[in-house]
Amino acid sequence: MPKISDHLDKKVNAYIDNLFSGVGPTQQLYDLKEELATNIKEKIADYIARGMDEEQAYKEAIISMGDLSGLVDDMRKLGQDAARQTVYSTMAARISTAGIVAGSLLILFGIFTALMLYFMSEDNLSVLGNGVFVIAGSALLTYSVLTRETSRKYAMNKIRAGLYALSVGVILFSFFTSAASWFATGEMYVSVASLMVFFLAGFGLLLYLVLTESDRRKI
């Protein structure tokens, strides 16, 4: 599916911003705008793939979304409902906090267990095996931090945060498999090959996410 131009990307974002102009900023509004923008951009890319020019594809995508006035009204009411906002933010914050704590504990558990086995003179592969806890903990920690709303930033879209967590996990896994390959075979080329495959995949995904990141700052 073709990627839409930067001009069209900005045009879609401007349309969404204009649609919800005057609506009080909330985390729910930020999430909705992200979802709508993604849906419209996907429809535009689909129409372009069918042979339409960008302008026509943009118009067709907007028409296909139908009447969004109901969503605008819902967001306006929600922005005025402080109680519902507080409940939503509190629940999201608790889930994020639990993820941060669990991720941090997994990382520490992996590190301390590896140190314990190392000083017990266990073989290198047994020590290295605890790296899976560090990898899992780092991915969970990344996801939980990115989906946490702060006083300065809105929480990231859960799917996008999940992709960030995946990229971090794959990059760390590349070092894990590289070290495991080295200890198992003693061959450096096998270690480098293992590192290259997973590292390039994880780094490529991370680079794409960073370059396409939207502004989550609260204005």
Mutual orientation of helices 131-146 and 158-185 as an angle, nearest 10°? 160
DSSP character at residue 23: S
Residue type, 92: A
Query: Any idea which residue has 């993604």 for tokens?
Result: 38
Cβ neighbours around 70 below 10 Å, total? 9
Give the residue-averaged pLDDT of 137-155: 91
Lowest mean pLDDT among 22-26, 38-42, 88-92, 155-159: 88-92
Q: So what's the pLDDT on residue 79? A: 67
What tokens appear for 105 in the block? 């504990």
What are the beta bridge partners of residue 153? 217
Enumerate long-range contacts of 145-153, CB under 8 Å, 24 or more apart: 145/96, 145/100, 147/92, 147/95, 147/96, 147/99, 148/92, 148/93, 148/96, 148/97, 148/100, 149/27, 149/89, 149/92, 149/93, 149/96, 151/218, 152/217, 152/218, 153/216, 153/217, 153/218
Q: Residues near 101 by Cβ (< 8 Å), separated by ≥ 6?
A: none
Q: Phi and psi for 4 in degrees, rounded to 5?
A: -75, 160
- Cα angle for residues 184, 185, 188 (degrees, 5° grid): 120
Q: Residues near 161 by Cβ (< 8 Å), separated by ≥ 6?
A: 142, 143, 146, 147, 155
Q: So what's the pLDDT on residue 219? A: 65
Residue 2 has pLDDT above 60, yes or no: no
Greatest CA span in the chain, whole angstroms?
A: 68
Q: So what's the pLDDT on residue 84? A: 59
Q: So what's the pLDDT on residue 150? A: 81
pLDDT tens digits for range 157-196: 888 999 999 999 999 999 999 998 988 888 898 999 999 9
Residue 136 has pLDDT above 80, yes or no: yes
pLDDT tens digits for range 55-112: 899 999 999 988 888 888 888 777 666 555 665 667 788 889 999 999 999 999 999 9
Q: So what's the pLDDT on residue 88? A: 63
Three-state DSSP at 25 gives coil
Q: So what's the pLDDT on residue 157? A: 86
